[in-house]
Structure 1
């Protein structure tokens, strides 16, 4: 799942820089930054309860970022990381889109809630794009294994 730009040697900062330059690393970094911004916006609003979704998605994105950056997905094959990432991104997209629409509709007079809702809609789109890219990887992996299992 992790892109091949990550190397097994080097310092943590070198691995971080190399992984952020990959497509998956950029998407996960964008998810982390957007989730952090949303937490700040929701915490500043009158309704801070909406920050739960952003906190959970921030933690899950951080975990997957670290796992893929350090190559732990290859060291722990017991967990199907590709499907786990697909479910994480899909559920994150749904939750962000639903809560953000509620916040934008409900946020009359609360600028921080509306800002959090707008950033949440953007995060929902980023998570949806992440879901799409992981889905394409799952699809290509399934096609590759299906053609390799055919006996000649």
Structure 2
């Protein structure tokens, strides 16, 4: 029984290593990492109320990372994972941009809040890039299915 558990763990670790090397895996891993950095900055700040954005976006990025890594998006057909990921990334880009601008403007004397705001602006750019890549995937899928079959 212990042998089967190590094989499953090795398979999961191999899937993790392979998925992080893809473009989508790298983007999601970077989103998780920058959300963790922002969470630490906001937690160290005297005004930690903005931590909820970083927590929510990190949890959602982890969720989508696991779903795409384990290829559950192919087996769970109830959810349209591409569009859900698009909405997650678009909302994340908007929330990070708005809260980061507020933090940078209000952060007078609170360097941790300003640092969190600066990292949040970078996260907003990263999430916006994720939206861009998802839109490219949606367009390519739409062109593949709409191709004429005149022979």
TM-score between the two structures when normalised by the length of structure 1: 0.90
User: 2-side partners of 1:12 and 1:137: how far apart?
Assistant: 26
User: 1-side partners of 2:83 and 2:26: how far apart?
Assistant: 19
Structure 2 spans left out of the alignment, 5+ residues: 1-8
Of Structure 1 and Structure 2, the greater helix share is in: 2
Q: Offset of 1:93 from its aligned partner? A: 0.3
Q: Offset of 1:151 from its aligned partner? A: 6.2
User: 1-side partners of 2:37 and 2:115: how far apart?
Assistant: 9
Q: Are residue 94 (structure 1) and residue 98 (structure 2) matched?
A: no
5 Å matches for 1:1-150? Answer: 11-147=11-147
User: 2-side partners of 1:35 and 1:75: how far apart?
Assistant: 28
- What's the secondary structure of 1:11's corresponding residue? helix
Divergent runs of 4+, >4 A? none
- Match in the other structure for 1:6: none
Aligned length: 143
Deviations 1:35-65 (A, max 9, x none): 0000000011011110110000000000000
- CA-based RMSD of the aligned residues comes to 1.4
User: 1-side partners of 2:105 and 2:53: how far apart?
Assistant: 17
